[in-house]
Amino acid sequence: MIKARQDAAHVVKNLHGQRVNSRLIASDYMEENADLVDILVPGYEDSDIALSYGAILRDCIRHQIVAR
């Protein structure tokens, strides 16, 4: 299970760097689905998932659109 969470964090990190027609597609998706950030933030309270959720959240908020 830990390996799966690490893999998911790596996938999200790679997606945040992908560009289609010079647009960051993950940022566009996160802008339209901002409720995903609301799911990630409480993940810090669960020590079993805090590291994975934290890595994903850090990748998400690196983009100005998502950080707003």
Tens of pLDDT along the chain (68 residues) come to 677 877 777 777 787 778 888 887 877 887 888 888 888 888 878 888 888 888 888 888 777 777 77
Question: Taking a C-beta distance cutoff of 8 angstroms, is the pair 43, 8 a contact?
Answer: no
Q: Which segments of 1-68 does DSSP mark as H helices, in order?
A: 2-16, 25-32, 35-40, 50-61, 64-67
The rounded distance, in Å, linking the Cα atoms of 16 and 35 is: 17
Predicted pLDDT of residue 30? 79
Predicted pLDDT of residue 11? 79
Predicted pLDDT of residue 40? 82
- pTM assigned to the model: 0.71
> By three-state DSSP, how is residue 61 classified?
helix
